[in-house]
Structure 1
Amino acid sequence: MMIYSSRRALLALLGSGLITLAGCGSLNPFKDEPKFKPAELTNVNATMALNSAWQLGGDDSPAGALTIVGTSAGPRVFAAQGRSVRVIDPANGSVVQTLAAESVLTTGAASDGTLVAAATRQGDVIAWDLASGKQLWKSSLNAEIISTPAVADGIIATLTTDGRLVGFDAADGRRRWVVQRAAPSLTLRVPSPVIGVRGGFLVGLPAGRVIALGSRDGQVRWETTFAQPKGSNEVERISDIMPAVGGLSGEFCVASYQGKVGCINVRDGRTSWQRDFSSNVGLAAGNGAIYATDDKSHVSAFSAAGVSVWKNEALAYRQLTAPAVMPGAVAVGDFEGYLHLLSTDKGEIIGRTQAGSRPHSGAPIALEVAGQRLLVVQNRSGAIFAFSVK
């Protein structure tokens, strides 16, 4: 299996370092009607074809973004919605396991290939055994959780909206550590990234902060303000780190709302480069570059050194998702269910298809499995679509 997503890049590039997706006022960047008219779609001179591979209906709204993890049985896609997590074989779309919860889930599902974790509306963190589908344990935090947990070194890390980072023992649910950070009075209502790899966790927080923690002890290895809040009022000062992140050559790359895009050295937390940027979804890394969607639905490419390579404005205000990267193409979804392919070298649109008519619930997942390149997407009704890319 080959996973082209940012998470694969982080696992591959940062695995030897420290690292691994909010109880105050919040704003939903997708709730209100758009102030600007979305760009009309024009005909595409397609050089890449998107063909339907499989489709699954949805019974409920997604609790969080799709996640993908390699297991002993092959790659598995995890889709949390309603009171369950569906475990899907991306090769054929079959649901190989359904993990049941007692209450409604509010996050995506995290997994290390052996166990699965997610959080509920009641503020509970739940862990299941992937092989049997049985619940292993449940632990209550009595707080809202919308950020997908992460798993590293037998520890499950969870971030609450009131600013608590809690590490649970994956085996029995015991709390191993707690790290508290003050939450701003106003944030965007989007999940913060909690990423786990061997040795620790890296977490993007509101107010443009990024923190690296040891997995076993929760000790802060470094902490930095990547994007300094600016402005004369609380709305103007929102600079939250967005959920979709990426990794390149030992660097952790992030984008913030009303702030910056750039990369941070994972060993010491120093900013390698950054540019003024405002994103409400995030970015992806791959092919030696960074690809980011801004809050106007413009897609930009930056070199590993932060040099601007191209910018595509053809899909302006179409409420684009964060990108997914695969060889030769960058994929983004929009508010009408369209999936667009942009070339990695020039940024022109080179392919398009539609996955239903509902908005996408998060960034596509790009992977190669069973000899075919796939893009897997989920819409806000919970339906999941897979397309082969040729």
Structure 2
Amino acid sequence: MTVRHGTLSALALAALLSGCAVVDWVMPKKGLPQETFTATLTGKTAWSTKVDSIKFPLNVVVVGDRLVVADSDGVLQALNPANGQSIWRGDIKGKPSAAVGSDGRFAAAVTEDNELVVLDAGKKVWTKVLTTPVKTAPLVAGERVFVLTVDRQVMAFDVLDGRKLWEMRRPGEPLTLNQSGVVSSYKDTLVVGQGPRLAGVDPLRGTLRWEAVVGSPRGTNEVERLADLVGPLGRSGEMLCARAFQLAVGCINAERGVQVWSRNNAGTVGVSAEGDLVLGADSVDRITAWKLSNGESAWSADQLQGRKLSAPLLTGKLAVFGDSEGFVHFLSRETGKTQLRLATDGSAVVAAPQAVAGLIVVVTAKGGVFGLKVD
């Protein structure tokens, strides 16, 4: 994610009137120097497959025994993560504006024409026209489809027939991001990002249960105070951890609905949390691991600066990032030192790596899907 500063200034008034986005996704530059290191792990590509190109940032959905991904032509696929083979595929008949959401059976995506399309095992079952653009993957859960629009309105639809069940409109920020936000769940609570706040919502009624601030915006104008929460959301136990755009990383106790800690950290992509750590990279790709309990720094690493890193993955003993040239970097969870680097197809890794079926799965801008095995 790159902020076009000239565009921000020129579009500030329009954004204030529309409540929509002023930030566009730009493919990063290539040709950056690589770190020199001695590998202490071995790895290989266990399988790879190809979908159409990916021209928008996305999150790969891992649901049980399958991966679900959308390409830029609107073809949705569920893949077997053990071998990359297709389980089902379907076409939403439009270019998606955001990633796909799925519960394994039903899949939901929104097109650039603001159509919410739901498929059942690859077959279209209903379509709804929305009045506001969407840049965040819908959440499919509990026989409902939850949609977060760019102005941070939340809507719930019945997954079977498309009936709108409720919508939640709250006083919004004057400026919001044209980037994937936060819509997730914790037990029986829907969790959404609204400005710099994380909100817990009753998924049956659309009423607010709790609200906590991740980071307090600073600055003297709307552009400087832009602090939307960006995905993905990190979760470890009852702690939900998020990034406020170019401002801070913070963790919320979802049982109590209160902020536990917040640390200034100017970044543009989400974080990962597992066990006792939270992991993220700032806007110059300096990596920090924070202690989950109190936000103290566990370690930091700067060997990947300037490589336009993807959102991270914490899994087992590894901290994993993709970069703008399709390399996947495996760092030690304990120290942040690089242990292994694997290549894909030379194009940017456009989603946070995912751990599934004993593999690390990454997706690239050229539409490559890779299952990487690390020993």
Mark yes or no: TM-score above 0.5: yes
Give me the whole-angstrom Cα distance separating, in 2, the residues matched to 1:183 and 1:358.
Answer: 36
* 2:71 maps to 1:76: no
Q: Partner amino acid for 2:299?
A: W
Does residue 31 of the first structure (1) align with residue 26 of the second (2)?
A: yes
> Unmatched 5+ residue regions in structure 1?
1-21
Number of the residue aligned with 1:240: 228
| Structure 1 position 167, deviation (Å) | 0.5
1:191 corresponds to which residue? Answer: 180
Distance (Å, rounded) in 2 between the aligned partners of 1:232 and 1:285: 32
Match 1:379 to one of 355, 358, 364? 364
Q: Give the corresponding residue for 1:341.
A: 330
Once the 2 structures are TM-superposed, how far is the Cα of residue 117 of structure 1 from its aligned partner? 1.3
Give yes or no for contact 2:20–2:177 (8 Å, CA) kept in 1: no
2:231 counterpart SS class: coil
Q: Judge conservation of contact 1:23–1:144 (CA < 8 Å) in 2.
A: no
Cα distance in 2 between the residues matched to 1:318 and 1:68 = 26
Q: Which amino acid aligns with 2:365?
A: R
Partner residue, 1:46: 39
* 1:257 to 2:257 alignment: no
Partner of 2:150: 161
Partners of 1:238 and 1:314 lie apart in 2 by 29
Which amino acid counterpart does residue 183 of structure 2 have in structure 1? Answer: V
Percent identical across equivalent pairs? Answer: 28
Question: Relative to structure 1, is the Cα distance of residues 39 and 357 closer, same or farther in structure 2, using a 3 angstrom cutoff?
Answer: closer
Q: Which amino acid aligns with 1:360?
A: V
1:1-390 equivalences under 5 Å are 23-28=19-24, 30-31=25-26, 40-63=33-56, 64-70=58-64, 75-81=65-71, 82-130=73-121, 133-206=122-195, 208-305=196-293, 306-367=295-356, 369=357, 373-390=358-375
Instruction: Report the alpha carbon displacement of residue 234 of structure 1 after superposing the two structures with TM.
Output: 2.7
Per the normalisation by structure 1, the TM-score is: 0.86
* 8 Å CA contact 1:358, 1:381 repeated in 2: yes
Partners of 2:211 and 2:258 within 8 A in 1? no
Pairwise CA RMSD: 1.9
Residue 32 of structure 1: how far off its partner (Å): 7.8
**310-319 vs 118-127, which deviates more?**
118-127
Query: 2-side partners of 1:354 and 1:269: how far apart?
Result: 41
Unaligned residue ranges in structure 2 (runs of 5+): 1-17
In structure 2, distance between residues paired with 1:115 and 1:86 = 11
The number of residue pairs the alignment matches comes to 355
Q: 1:224 and 1:42 mapped to 2: Cα distance?
A: 39
Deviation at 1:321, TM superposition (A): 0.9
Give structure 1 regions of 4+ aligned residues with deviation exceeding 4 angstroms: none
Amino acid at match of 2:290: F
Whole-angstrom CA distance in 1 between matches of 2:136 and 2:152: 11
Q: CA deviation at 1:151?
A: 2.1
